[in-house]
Amino acid sequence: MPAAAVKPGLEDMVAEGGSEGVSQWEASTLGRDRLSLPSLKVPRELLRSFPHSKRVGSYLVGKMINKGSFAKVMEGLHISTGEKVAIKVIDKKKARQDSYVLKNMKREPRIHQMIRHPHIVVLLETLETENSYYMAMELCAGGDLMDRICERKRLEEREVRRYTRQILSAVEHLHKHGIVHRDLKIENFLLDEHNNIKIVDFGLSNTLKAESLSLELLNTQCGSPAYAAPELLAHRKYGPKVDVWSVGVSMFAMLTGTLPFTVEPFNIKQLHQKMVNGEISSIPSDVSKGAVSFVLSLLEPDPAKRPSVRAAMEERWINEGYAKKPLHTLSHKNRLCPEDLNSSVLAYMTETLGYSLSEIIHTLTSNRPSAIMASYHLLLNKLNRSQKGAKASKKLETNDWSLLSKNTWRERNNTESKTQQQNEPTNEKSSKQSSRPLRAQQMTDCQSNRRRTEDPHRKDNKEDDENRPPSPSLPQLPHSTSPSSTPSRSFTFTCRSVCRRWGC
């Protein structure tokens, strides 16, 4: 059945962009020198070779990446660009069984249109059929944070700081625009190809008026209990600081490989009591005092004493090593401007795909998920990747020529050296006698240094693994069926991580 595009229904939220000024900008843009774009054409073989079960709109729907209660995430291929995407498929029949999910099924794309941030996944397009609702999003090639923790058991403090900075930056951006996520957890933090965080799954998010963000106005019990703040578990009204608590739980999981609060057998009242009493799981002794103090401040059970995201961004630990870039001083534009758009991609879309320039500009500057937005972002990704490949190839070619020149120079020197040695036979013997022991000593010193640096390192790692006490751990979600990507240690705990909303 052909898929029909779903209008996000946010026309009232997006200022109508007039055509005044666009024509002038269009003229200047078309006058620029544009790059040739032969690499943007899609080989037919690529479409034939992509394993898929069906086609929906402009997408081939392939294998399943992940699965939840009401939705599953599939790998997809955008036909007109040949770029891979992630497609969230919501089963309408199952969604109708839960009035809350049904009511808020289309809230997610509305929220995506409201925000734009480098650490929040981009929603490209929405589609709808008789039985399903589809959301095409950028594919995060780096996998998810859960897999990384599973593979390494726990993350280094420096890496935890980097990820937490990115998460706080995105959450502060959400709160600034009146959005509370309410389902922040390790499973909802994906990684792009550059190892940067991308927050996903806004299905439980809600909006508040910006001026009301300091008030506790929400009351729905939702999300995953293990990451939910105590005020949310206690059926009290709550505000955006529930997200701060969830960031604290996630940071604790990165630092330790475990959850801070667990109860077996699982019981929400007992879990809540542990949170209120501060009965937190043990933290490895090698974690710095600054990191411990910071994560415990986020896990403050009293929301009145818990810092806001903005206050957390000003703390000392989160800014260590970033003296020139304190987190609270960084800001991100919430909308693309016409001058931000890539003229080469715009030219391709107007000349090859047949879109009007004014329509493209209005869609992108209003951040509206649509076929135009999908085409632009995917083409831009493809162009950037192609340009990086060309630069890398040119650099390699330059290095090859440089190496060839060095080899030629060495050959010439060797020839001159041989000639000189033939002319001075008495010096040849002494030269060999003096150079050989030096070379042998350098190799011995190098091997000795390598043994001194490597052996203690291996020993330290072994001792660290052996001395680390066993403890409750995180749930592992099936991200890849490849045997090579199977984590060395499975993460399990009794709390249902897929729990969306409960009435306890």
Tens digit of each residue's pLDDT (9 = 90 or more) over 159-188: 999 999 999 999 999 999 999 999 999 999
Report whether 92 contacts 133 (CB < 8 A). Answer: yes
Tell me 1's DSSP state. Answer: -
Q: Checking phi first, is residue 5 left (phi over 0); if not, alpha (psi -120 to 50) or beta?
A: beta
Instruction: Give residue-wise pLDDT tens across range 397-421.
Output: 666 556 655 566 566 666 655 555 5
pLDDT at 98: 79
Give a yes or no: residue 23 inside a domain.
no
pLDDT, mean of residues 229-250? 94
CATH of residue 138's domain is 1.10.510.10
For the ranges 55-69, 195-209, 319-333, 464-478, the lowest mean pLDDT is seen at 464-478
pLDDT at 139: 96
Q: What is the mean pLDDT of the chain?
A: 78
Instruction: Give residue-wise pLDDT tens across range 368-401.
Output: 999 999 999 999 999 988 888 777 766 676 665 5
Which residue type occupies 271? Answer: L
Give a yes or no: residue 123 inside a domain.
yes
Question: What is the Cα–Cα distance from 501 to 499, expressed in whole angstroms?
Answer: 6
Q: Find all residues with CB under 8 Å of 427, minimum gap 6, and list them.
A: 421
Give a yes or no: residue 253 inside a domain.
yes
pLDDT, mean of residues 336-353? 94
Report whether 372 contacts 359 (CB < 8 A). Answer: yes
pLDDT at 94: 84
Q: Is the pLDDT confidence value at 241 over 90? A: yes
pLDDT at 217: 57
Question: What is the Cα–Cα distance from 214 to 175, expressed in whole angstroms?
Answer: 10
Which residue type occupies 106? Answer: K
* E strand or H helix that includes residue 404: helix 371-423
* % of the chain residues with pLDDT over 70: 68
Omega within 30 of 0 (cis) for the link into 265: yes
pLDDT at 93: 87
Give a yes or no: residue 257 inside a domain.
yes
**What's the N-to-C CA distance of the chain in angstroms?**
41
Give the bridge partners for 90, in sequence order: 71, 133
pLDDT, mean of residues 33-46? 67
Give a yes or no: residue 189 inside a domain.
yes
Give a yes or no: residue 323 inside a domain.
yes
- Top pLDDT among 189 and 32 is at 189
Instruction: Give residue-wise pLDDT tens across range 20-37.
Output: 445 555 555 554 445 455
Query: Please, what is the Cα angle at 284 between 281 and 289, to 5 degrees?
Result: 100
pLDDT, mean of residues 258-270? 93
Give a yes or no: residue 19 inside a domain.
no
Considering its fold, how many domains does the chain have in total?
1
Give a yes or no: residue 272 inside a domain.
yes
* pLDDT tier for residue 3 given thresholds of 50, 70 and 90: very low
**Residue 104: which domain range?**
4-8+44-331+367-390
pLDDT at 317: 98
Question: What is the Cα–Cα distance from 442 to 69, expressed in whole angstroms?
Answer: 62
pLDDT at 415: 62
* pLDDT tier for residue 39 given thresholds of 50, 70 and 90: low
Give the catalytic positions in this structure. 183
- Top pLDDT among 326 and 430 is at 326
Question: What is the Cα–Cα distance from 491 to 154, expressed in whole angstroms?
Answer: 11
Q: Is the pLDDT confidence value at 155 over 80? A: yes
* pLDDT tier for residue 5 given thresholds of 50, 70 and 90: very low
Question: What is the Cα–Cα distance from 14 to 342, expressed in whole angstroms?
Answer: 22
Question: What is the Cα–Cα distance from 419 to 202, expressed in whole angstroms?
Answer: 76
Which residue type occupies 475? Answer: P
